[in-house]
Amino acid sequence: MSQAQLLGVYPVGPEEFLCALFHVGEASRFLPVWLAPVEGARLLARLNGWTPNRPHAVDALADLARAAGGAAGEIELSDVHEGVFRATLRLGDGTDVDLRPSDALAVALELDLPVEVTEDVLASASLWLSADDASRYFDVDIETGAPDAVAEADSGSDAEFEAFLRQLGAADDDEDDGADKA
């Protein structure tokens, strides 16, 4: 298993679907996890410091995990099938709780838990991004761990990323260059 760092929640493509983007540093890979609109918006709001006036289900789940005495251990992105992710909240006593990724990520924020990714999920759903692409498409500045010469020579990774963006409906001319288009 590899630890994943949540970089943020981003609207992607012309439909602006919400994507939680993770960086898995030891593998130099990025993992996009697509979120339902309402849950994605709530997660984005929580990342920006919002707290609900009344507890939501994830707040109650976090309170139950705290009250159970056995501290929660980690969140695991445990499986992906046809683009649908499964997440697991692993409690300190070894109990696993199956959760939707959006709920699991909100619980991770609430309890300050690490997010782990299985090797199967990493192999089937992650992609490599150059530092330039991470900055261009997600406004993320991060070291990818690959030298620029290797990144430029890796045309397979570039083709993989371009195919990923085409799947989202994004095109090169979608980039906002700051000029007004009439």
Q: 106 or 161: whose pLDDT is higher?
A: 106
- Split at pLDDT 50, 70, 90, the class of 181 is very low
Average pLDDT score over residue span 98-109: 93
Do β-strands 84-91 and 29-35 pair in parallel, antiparallel, or remain unpaired? Answer: unpaired
Q: Where are the domains of the chain?
A: 2-138
Share of the chain above pLDDT 70, in %: 82
Give CA 27 to chain center in angstroms.
15
Question: How far separated are the first and last CA of the chain, in Å rounded?
Answer: 49
Q: What is the pLDDT of residues 104-134, one digit of tens each?
A: 999 999 989 999 999 999 999 999 888 888 8
One of 3.30.40.10, 3.40.50.300, 3.10.690.10, 3.10.20.440 is the CATH number of 2-138, namely: 3.10.690.10
Indicate the pTM of the whole model. Answer: 0.74
Burial class (CB in 10 A: 0-12, 13-18, 19+), 74: middle
Residue 13 confidence (pLDDT)? 79
List, as one string, the DSSP characters of 144-160. -SS-HHHHHH-HHHHHH
DSSP state of 112: T
